[in-house]
């Protein structure tokens, strides 16, 4: 079964934890969440997306626009598909 891939890039710090909690709150069964703590590896993956700020959330290989400069935003995460069931054809 297909899943929406949600990746959260963090530094494992108190500033990043609210982003992880927000994604967890919004997520539905169709979301597969992976947290990449850059202190524990994942820097190559972050570099492949061009990530320069943390926290950053990526949905289906696309950085959510709110993460570019101001941090995770509930409405923009929902618009990116987090919490929305995938259409089953």
- CATH number of residue 19's parent domain: 3.40.30.10
Which pLDDT band holds residue 88 (cuts at 50, 70, 90)?
low
pTM above 0.85, yes or no: no
* The total number of structural domains that make up the chain: 1
pLDDT at residue number 67: 65
Is 84 within a domain? Answer: no
Q: Who has greater pLDDT, 74 or 39?
A: 39
Structural domain range at position 42: 4-79
Q: Rg of the Cα trace of the chain?
A: 12
Encoded tokens for 73: 């935003």
DSSP helix/strand/coil, 38: coil
């Amino acid at each position: 079964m297909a899943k929406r891939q949600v990746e959260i890039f963090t530094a494992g710090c108190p500033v990043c934890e609210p982003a992880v909690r927000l994604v967890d709150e919004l997520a539905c069964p169709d979301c597969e969440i992976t947290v990449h703590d850059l202190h524990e590896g994942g820097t190559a993956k972050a570099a492949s997306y061009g990530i320069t700020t943390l926290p950053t959330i990526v949905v289906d290989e696309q950085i959510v626009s709110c993460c570019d400069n101001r941090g995770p935003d509930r409405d923009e995460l929902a618009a990116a598909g987090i919490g929305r069931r995938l259409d089953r054809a």
